[in-house]
C-alpha cells in the first residue's frame, strides 16, 4: 500500500468515526450501517472494510463519550460533599441526554456489551456515590441505588428536543432524592463544577 493510500484509509476511518458519532448522537445506535456510510459520503464497502461488525463501529464512535463518562465519574468521586458528588453526576448525565441522547441510550441499550467493563465500572462508582450519600444522610431515607438508576433511566427516556423538560425532570428527581434540609444544588450541571 502506498503512503497516499494509507493516508486515505486513515482519513476515511477517522471520517467514518466522526460521522457515526454524530449520527448515533442524533438518531441512536440502531441507525443502519448503510445510512452511516451515506452520511459520510463513502461506499458501504469502505465502511465494512474498516468496521466489519456494527459493534466495531459503535465502539470506535462512542470511545470518546465513554472516556468522558469515566472522567466525569472520577471527578464526582473526588468531590468531598456527598450530595454534590451524586447530584453533580446525575446532572452531568442529564446534560449528555440533551447534547447526545443516542450516546446515553447506547450505554443502557442492547449494544452496551461493547462497553461491558466500562459499564460495570460506572455502575460500581454510582453505587459508591449513593452509599456515601446514604452514610452522610444526604438522601431521603429508603432511597436506594436502584432508585437512582431509575432516575437515570427516566432522564435517558426524555426527548432532547425539549431541554427545559429534561431540566425540570432533573430538578424534580433531585428534589425527590435529596434528604430534607440538605442544601447545595449544582449551579452548573456536571461534576466538573458543582458550586
The answer for residues whose C-beta is within 8 angstroms of residue 38's C-beta and 6 or more apart is none
Average pLDDT over residues 181-193: 50
**Model pLDDT, residue 195:** 30
Residue 47 has pLDDT above 70, yes or no: yes
Q: Is 54 helix (H, G, I), strand (E, B) or coil?
A: helix
CB 182 within 8 A of CB 84: no
Q: For the chain, what is the mean pLDDT?
A: 84
Q: How many structural domains is the chain composed of?
A: 1
In a domain, 54, yes or no: yes
As given in the structure block, the three cell numbers for residue 163 are 431541554
* pLDDT tens-digit series, residues 154-186: 888 887 677 888 899 999 999 999 998 776 555
CB 195 within 8 A of CB 186: yes
Q: Which neighbouring-strand residues pair with 139?
A: 178
Q: Which domain, by its residues, includes 57?
A: 3-177
d(CA 32, CA 24): 10
**Model pLDDT, residue 50:** 94
Q: 145-156 vs 116-135: helix axis angle to the nearest 10? A: 120
| Closest of 115, 174, 167, 107 to residue 147, by C-alpha | 174
d(CA 63, CA 68): 9
In a domain, 184, yes or no: no
Q: Domain holding 90: CATH number?
A: 1.10.357.10
Percent of the chain whose pLDDT exceeds 70: 82
In a domain, 47, yes or no: yes
The answer for residues whose C-beta is within 8 angstroms of residue 104's C-beta and 6 or more apart is 93, 96, 97, 155, 156
In a domain, 187, yes or no: no
Residue 9 has pLDDT above 80, yes or no: no
In a domain, 188, yes or no: no
d(CA 143, CA 22): 36
In a domain, 71, yes or no: yes
Instruction: Tell me which residue has cell 451515506.
Output: 38
Q: Could you tell me the pTM of the whole model?
A: 0.77
CB 27 within 8 A of CB 36: no
d(CA 27, CA 173): 26
Amino acid at each position: 500500500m502506498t503512503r497516499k493510500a494509507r493516508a486515505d484509509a486513515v482519513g476515511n476511518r477517522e471520517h467514518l468515526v466522526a460521522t457515526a458519532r454524530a449520527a448515533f448522537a442524533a438518531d441512536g445506535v440502531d441507525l443502519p450501517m448503510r445510512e452511516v456510510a451515506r452520511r459520510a459520503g463513502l461506499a458501504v464497502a469502505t465502511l465494512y472494510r474498516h468496521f466489519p461488525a456494527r459493534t466495531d463501529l459503535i465502539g470506535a464512535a462512542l470511545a470518546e463519550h465513554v472516556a468522558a463518562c469515566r472522567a466525569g465519574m472520577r471527578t464526582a468521586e473526588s468531590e468531598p460533599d456527598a450530595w454534590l458528588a451524586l447530584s453533580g453526576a446525575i446532572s452531568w448525565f442529564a446534560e449528555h441526554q440533551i447534547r447526545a441522547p443516542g450516546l446515553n441510550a447506547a450505554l443502557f441499550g442492547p449494544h452496551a456489551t461493547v462497553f461491558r467493563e466500562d459499564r460495570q465500572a460506572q455502575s460500581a462508582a454510582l453505587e459508591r456515590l449513593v452509599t456515601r450519600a446514604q452514610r452522610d444522610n444526604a438522601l431521603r431515607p429508603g432511597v436506594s441505588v436502584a432508585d437512582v438508576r431509575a432516575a437515570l433511566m427516566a432522564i435517558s427516556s426524555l426527548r432532547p428536543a425539549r431541554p427545559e423538560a429534561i431540566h425540570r425532570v432533573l430538578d424534580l428527581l433531585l428534589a425527590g432524592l435529596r434528604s430534607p434540609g440538605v442544601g447545595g444544588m449544582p449551579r452548573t450541571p456536571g461534576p466538573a463544577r458543582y458550586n
